Each structure stands twice: as C-alpha cells, then as structure tokens.
Amino acid sequence: MSFKSLGLSEALLKAVQEKGYTTPSPIQEKAIPHILDGKDILASAQTGTGKTAGFTLPVLQILSETKHPKYRPLRALVLTPTRELAAQVHENVREYSKYLDIRSTVVFGGVKAASQIRTLKQGVDILVATPGRLLDLHDQKAVSFKRVDILILDEADRMLDMGFVRDINKIISFMPSKRQNLMFSATFSNDIKKLASGILRNPVSVEAAPQNSTAEMVEQKVYRVDKGKKTGLVIDLISEGNWSQVLMFTRTKHGANKLTEKLVKSGITAAAIHGNKSQGARTKALANFKNNSIRVLVATDIAARGLDIPLLPHVINFELPNVPEDYVHRIGRTGRAGASGEAISLVCSEETEYQKEIEKILKQKLNTEVLAGYEPTDTAGPKRAASQSKGSFGKKNSSSEGDKPKRKPHFKGNKPAGSTSGRGRTGAPKKKRY
C-alpha cells in the first residue's frame, strides 16, 4: 500500500516523500482512512510506530480542505504529556504542512509565556500543547477552544500516570460537544478505556502491534549485581565496549543526577534529563546526545517518553521500573527500523520481583547472567520481600515523576523529589507542570 492510496493530497504526499517515507506503517495504514472519514479513533501504538504521522497527516488534510475564517481560530488541538513530545509532534506538523496554508505552534511550560501568547493571538489552525501551560494560557484569555473541531490525545496512558485527567476534562469542557476525537495510547488499560468512554463517540479501535509486544530486533539481557556495584558495572560496560549513544533509565530524578555525576567523574560524557531540568537544559542534552557530543543520556521514564532517537544501539535499565509496562516502553527505543539493539537491565536482589512481573507480561524469561567481579552478595530481607508481594505492581501513579511513592523506595539515596506544583485541587494527584 502507498500513501497515495490512503487518500492524501498531493501537497501532503510531497512532504512525506521529502521526509524519505515511501510506505505507510501499520498504524498509519489502519488509522488514516478512518480519521479522514471523520470517525473517532482509539489507537494502541507505541513510540516508534509512526503514530504521530498517523494522526498528523489526516488532520492536516481535513483542516486544509475546510475553509477557515480570516482570524484563524484554533481548529485542531493536540495534547501531549511532556515538553519533549510536544516539541517533537509540532516539528512533524511543521514538516508535513510545509506545502499547505496551515499555521501551527506549540506551547508548554518551562519557558516564558509572552512569545507563546503573541503567536496565539495572531491565529493558529493547529496547536500542540501540554495541559498545564494550556490551561494557564486559557485563564489569561490567550486561547479559545470554542471552534475546535478535532481533539487529539497523544500518549493518553502517560497523561493518566501524570495526573492530568482533571486538566484534560477541564479543557474539554470549554470545547464544542460536536467534534472529532482521536486518542493514542501505548496500552488499552481499564483506566484508558474509562477515559475513552467519556470522550470518544462510537470509536474505531486500531492496534499497531499486539499489546505489550517488544521489538523483535532487541537483544534483552539481565545482569544480577549488588545494588552498590551497579555504577561500577555500567562504567566498565560503556568504557570497555567503547559504547556511544547509551540511553540509561533511573526511577527518580535524584538518581538520574547522581548517576550522571559519577559517569562524568569517570570520564564518560553524560547528561541527565528529567522534569526538574529547565527546558533549555533538556533540549541541549537531547541535541548533544543525538549528535554524539555526549555518550550517555540518563533519563527518568516521564522525561524520556516520546523521545525520537533513530538507530539507538543501547538501552540500560540502571533500575527496573516498578510498573512492568514501562519496561516495554524503555526497551522499545532501540531495535527500530530493522536495526539491531541491546537492552541491558541491572537487577539487584530487591528488584527480583520486578523482573518476574516483567517476564510475566513479556511471556518469556529474560536471559540472566552474572559477570565476574560483580557477583551479587546482597539479599532482600523478609520485610523487603513482603513489601514486593503481588499487588505492589500496576499502581501507575507511583512511577509518575514528582509523585510521592505509595511504598518505601527500594533504592537508598534515591528519594523521589516531591512535587509542589500543580493546580492544588483537593484529592488531585500531585504532578509536575509541563
């Protein structure tokens, strides 16, 4: 199947060709015709499946075929959970709309709002935004949702994790009831289905791949190691293997900073990326990582969500996630586009239950090894083992960056930073304003 057979205009086909794409991905092939038909969509698609173009292309076509008033009211809104993903989606919108009379912009926190307000007041057809900053701008009367025809929720599962449900519902309350809704999520959890039922009307469900599937080209490996020896092990692996472009995951912002400092002291160029970093620092770190100025990018799950890093060869789980599905998201960042990739997890005794839960959703045992000089000697005590019993998994809010964990953290010295931001509603999950 070709992009032309999907019903896209010549202007969009030209832009797609210039991006180097010739054949639509499965999610694009399944979603684009339904979106062009005006149907609501509930799509399961992980990062790297081409989902952004899957909704950007048809939305741009719909907007370009609809006559707009001269003052250009906002007609399509894309909500994303993080700044990086918002910037990435807008870049796609800009590239695909280069031959169309479409105006677009992106707004998110971490930067001054003045320039964003000026752009919005000039009129835009499509806006990409994070919920927090968007509501702030709406409160300042810098943006109106009264003419929105299409609403897109990208990475809806992560927005739930970060406690954005109330913000999303508030934004939707300002919109016309008659509109097209598109929801993209990595998984179809019960929470996602509940959210979808309140937003989507008779949606068409499409899936790019089986739920929780992992990249076939990714070699997955586990090294059993003492908690205190993890840093030495990753330094040896990176140095002796002469690795570059290593994306490393920690569970907390403090842990990301601490590990980055130790890597730099050992002579390995590295940078951390997480919610406490300024937008400028995050953008610079990602750019340096992509152009190989730094070898290692240390990230938390939320900050790394949606990052597009082509041909990434190495992913290291310095700490296993306490939500098993996040493991799938992490390792899915390597082994893309037919290239091989390696995902290594460092597992101490306190994380063995996490490994079992991950293996359960993968429906496979992970290849587990012990390296000479790094033999594990620590053991989890009875209380610790009890705290890791069944039922400690699946509490997604506990993995959200800035949220207070519902149980004692596993890693000494890596206490998650409590968030003091948010809208201060009673009972609402605490969250970082992106």
3-class SS string, 124-137: CCEEEECHHHHHHH
CA 427, CA 77: separation in Å to the nearest integer?
Answer: 27
Taking residues 177-186, report their average pLDDT.
93
Asked if residue 382 has pLDDT above 90, the reply is no
The pLDDT value given to residue 188: 74
User: What mean pLDDT is predicted for residues 205-231?
Assistant: 77
Out of 103-117, 167-181, 202-216, 364-378, least confident range: 202-216
pLDDT band at 105 (very low <50, low <70, confident <90, very high): very high
Mean pLDDT, the chain, rounded, equals 81
What are the φ/ψ torsions at residue 257 (nearest 5 degrees)?
-65, -45
Q: Would the pLDDT of 286 be above 80?
A: yes
Provide the β-strand partners of residue 344: 221, 316
Strand order in the sheet with 314-317: 270-273, 296-299, 246-249, 314-317, 341-347, 218-224, 367-369
Instruction: Choose the weakest-confidence range: 135-149, 301-315, 374-388, 419-433.
Output: 419-433
> So what's the pLDDT on residue 62?
95
Query: What average pLDDT does the segment 164-169 reach?
Result: 92
Q: What are the structure tokens assigned to 393, written together?
A: 């998994």
- Higher-scoring residue by pLDDT: 40, 430: 40
pLDDT score of 389: 36
How many other C-beta atoms lie within 10 A of the C-beta of residue 173? 9
The string of pLDDT tens digits covering residues 260-269 is: 999 999 999 9
Sequence-distant (≥ 6) Cβ neighbours of residue 364 within 8 angstroms: none
How high is the pLDDT of residue 336?
53
* Mean pLDDT for the stretch of residues 357-364: 86
What is the structure's pLDDT at 45? 77
Examine the pLDDT at 422 and tell me if it is beyond 50.
no
pLDDT at residue 103 in the model: 94
Q: Which of 27-36, 275-284, 413-422 has the highest mean pLDDT?
A: 27-36
State mean pLDDT over 53-64: 95
Each residue's pLDDT tens digit, 62-104:
999 987 667 789 999 999 988 888 988 999 999 999 999 999 9
| Residue 351 reports pLDDT greater than 80 | yes
Q: Are 161 and 394 in contact (CB under 8 A)?
A: no
pLDDT band, very low/low/confident/very high, at 290 (cuts 50, 70, 90): confident
Pick the residue with more confidence: 215 or 388? 215
pLDDT of res. 419: 38
If pLDDT is split at 50, 70 and 90, which confidence band does 431 have? very low
Average of per-residue pLDDT across 382-411: 36
pLDDT for 210 equals: 47
Residues 104-127, mean pLDDT to the nearest whole number: 93
- Asked if residue 426 has pLDDT above 50, the reply is no
List the structure tokens of 8.
């896209």
Q: What is the mean pLDDT of residues 357-382?
A: 80
Q: How far apart are CA 69 and CA 154, in angstroms?
A: 27
Can you say how many angstroms the Cα of residue 207 is from the centroid of all Cα atoms in its chain?
17
With 80 as the cut, is the pLDDT of residue 120 above it?
A: yes
Average the pLDDT over each of 155-159, 181-185, 230-234 and give the range with the smallest value. 155-159
Question: Is the pLDDT score of 15 beyond 80?
Answer: yes
